[in-house]
């Protein structure tokens, strides 16, 4: 019995808790992608670097606050700097829309042209971020490290294994829940939110109903950029900030959006957790876990790891391909790409 509890604790510590945090981050990122796809009707490849840009602003402001001695310990200072990061991301997104996307909207260009243009914006943002903050890892998390440490948990329960919950992990989940609830309330209940759904549902009819397309586009960018800055900051706090990692996040985020059904906000959230849990469970080494559950003579000698963590992106890629082949509309019947 105690072995089973130990196995569960071990599994929670290395799989459930990290995957919940990672899944929340992916969900927030995928929500931005899915909103832009549903309303502006193109796959925005610049979303990962938009996240990086917002996070960069957060880091710079965090350093400034730290040098001034301003903080909200035990919470990380980055939380105080987050509004500035959101504003920065909104501004750069609106500049990109003004300078690039609006032109193609007026031309009524095909979606693929928007996608290519977004790749251009991605490289621009990529360069800007590297110019300002450099390509290296930046640590900016401060405040209390753990909500509950490995040892505290062991002493509390008397088990051989512990569950450590880092403060940033708990923070990620809490912030994600708050942001997602606010977004759904906005989309379901407010006039502007409903007009965005109407525009996404049937653009021509939305125009016939007098919905102002420029306003819908503006609000969409504001929301997508805010989500990007929040997701990026939470990811950076939980792991670390490196511009290239944010670019790499594009794949799991797109996979999440497509698995859930692109254009469907609820799908983005479910997709985020599907991808996160698949990635973490498949790259986790089950050796110790099985030792607890199996009789001694059957205990494995190898790591029992299905895939090395170096290949974690292969997981989202495979899921993406399978979904596109088997059910291209995704779980919640989104649009077909």
Partner 1 sequence: MSFLIGEAMTGGYGGADILRGCTIEVDKGEIAVIVGPNGAGKSTAMKAVFGMLNLREGQVRLGDRDITGLSPQDRVKQGMAFVPQTSNVFAGMSVQENLEMGAFLRRDDISVTMEQVFDLFPILAEKRAQAAGELSGGQRQQVAVGRALMTQPSVLMLDEPTAGVSPIVMDELFDRILEIRNTGIAILMVEQNARQALNIADRGFVLVTGENRFTDTGEALLANPEVRRSFLGG
Show the binding pattern over residues 163-192: x = contacts partner 1 (CB under 8 A), - = does not.
----------------------------x-
CB of 182 to partner 1, least distance (A): 20
270 binds partner 1 (CB under 8 A): no
Judged by CB, which is closer to partner 1: 132, or 205? 205
Sign of CA dihedral 121, 127, 131, 135: positive
Distance CA 177, CA 158 (A): 32
CB of 217 to partner 1, least distance (A): 15
Residues 189-208 touching partner 1, rule: CB under 8 A, are 191, 194-195, 197-198, 201-202, 204-208
**Cβ atoms of residues 36 and 224 within 8 Å:** yes
Residues 205-264 touching partner 1, rule: CB under 8 A, are 205-211
CA 214 remoteness from chain centre: 27
Q: Under rule CB under 8 A, how many of the chain's residues touch partner 1?
A: 15
3-state secondary structure (DSSP) of residue 307: coil
Nearest-10 Cα torsion for 211, 215, 221, 223: -80
Judged by CB, which is closer to partner 1: 37, or 235? 37
How crowded is residue 312: how many other Cβ atoms within 10 Å of its Cβ? 17
Q: Which of 51, 94, 60, 106 minimizes the C-alpha distance to 80?
A: 60
Q: What angle do CA 248, 66, 126 make, to 5 degrees?
A: 25
CB of 189 to partner 1, least distance (A): 11
Residues 25-54 touching partner 1, rule: CB under 8 A, are none
Judged by CB, which is closer to partner 1: 106, or 191? 191
CB of 212 to partner 1, least distance (A): 9
CB of 209 to partner 1, least distance (A): 5
**Cβ atoms of residues 124 and 101 within 8 Å:** no
**How is 95-145 classified by DSSP, letter by letter?**
HHIIIIIHHHHHTT--HHHHHHHHHHHHHHHHHHHHHHH-SS-B----S-S
CB of 197 to partner 1, least distance (A): 6
Judged by CB, which is closer to partner 1: 108, or 191? 191
CB of 311 to partner 1, least distance (A): 37
Judged by CB, which is closer to partner 1: 92, or 216? 216
Chain contacts with partner 1 (rule: CB under 8 A): 191, 194-195, 197-198, 201-202, 204-211
């Amino acid at each position: 019995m105690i072995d089973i509890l130990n196995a569960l604790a071990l599994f929670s510590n290395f799989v459930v808790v990290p995957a919940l945090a990672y899944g929340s981050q992916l969900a927030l990122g995928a929500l931005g992608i899915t909103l832009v796809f549903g309303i502006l009707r193109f796959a925005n490849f610049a979303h990962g670097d938009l996240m990086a840009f917002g996070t960069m602003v957060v880091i710079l402001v965090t350093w400034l606050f730290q040098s001034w001695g301003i903080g909200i310990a035990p919470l990380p200072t980055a939380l105080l700097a987050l509004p500035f990061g959101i504003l920065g991301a909104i501004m750069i997104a609106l500049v990109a829309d003004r300078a690039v996307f609006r032109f193609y909207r007026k031309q009524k260009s095909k979606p693929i042209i928007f996608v290519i243009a977004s790749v251009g914006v991605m490289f621009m943002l990529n360069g800007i971020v590297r110019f300002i903050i450099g390509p290296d890892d930046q640590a900016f998390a401060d405040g209390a490290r753990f909500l509950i440490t490995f040892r505290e948990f062991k002493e509390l329960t008397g088990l051989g294994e512990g569950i450590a919950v880092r403060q940033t992990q708990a923070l990620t989940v809490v912030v994600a829940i708050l942001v997602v609830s606010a977004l759904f309330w906005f989309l379901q209940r407010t006039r502007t939110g409903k007009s965005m759904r109407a525009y996404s549902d049937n653009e021509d009819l939305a125009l016939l109903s007098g919905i102002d397309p420029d306003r819908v586009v503006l609000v969409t960018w504001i929301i997508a950029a805010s989500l990007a800055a929040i997701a990026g900051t939470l990811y950076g706090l939980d792991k670390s900030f490196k511009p290239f990692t944010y670019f790499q996040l594009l794949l799991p985020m797109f996979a999440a959006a497509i698995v859930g059904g692109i254009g469907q906000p609820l799908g983005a959230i479910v997709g985020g957790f599907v991808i996160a849990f698949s990635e973490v469970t498949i790259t986790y080494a089950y050796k110790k876990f099985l030792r607890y559950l199996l009789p001694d003579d059957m205990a494995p000698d190898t790591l029992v790891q299905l895939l090395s963590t170096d290949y974690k992106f292969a997981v989202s890629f495979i899921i993406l391909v399978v979904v596109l082949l088997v059910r291209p509309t995704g779980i919640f019947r989104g649009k077909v790409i």
